Amino acid sequence: MYKGVSHCLFRIARREGIGNWYRGLGASLCGIVPYASVDLGVYFSLKEFLTRHPPPWDPKDGSDPSVTTLLGCGTTSSTCGMLVSYPLQLVRTRLQAVGLQGMPQYSGIVDCVRKTVQQDGPLGLYR
| Angle of CA points 65, 32, 40, to nearest 5° | 15
Residue ranges of domains in the chain: 24-126
Inform me whether the pLDDT recorded for 61 exceeds 70. Answer: no
Q: Which residues of 26-44 are buried (b: 16+ CB within 10 A; e: fewer)?
A: ebbeebeeebeebbeebbe
User: Which of the two residues, 82 and 50, has the higher pLDDT score?
Assistant: 82
Q: Please give the span between the terminal C-alpha atoms of the chain, in angstroms, as a whole number.
A: 25
Q: pLDDT above 90 covers what percent of the chain?
A: 42
Q: Would you call 63 helix, strand, or coil by DSSP?
A: coil
pLDDT in tens, 64-74: 788 888 999 99
pLDDT in tens, 88-122: 899 988 988 887 788 889 988 899 999 999 999 99
pTM, two decimal places: 0.70
Q: At what angle do helices 25-52 and 109-120 cross, to 10 degrees?
A: 70
In whole angstroms, what is the distance from residue 127 CA to residue 94 CA?
11
Q: How many CB atoms neighbour CB 94 within 10 A? A: 21
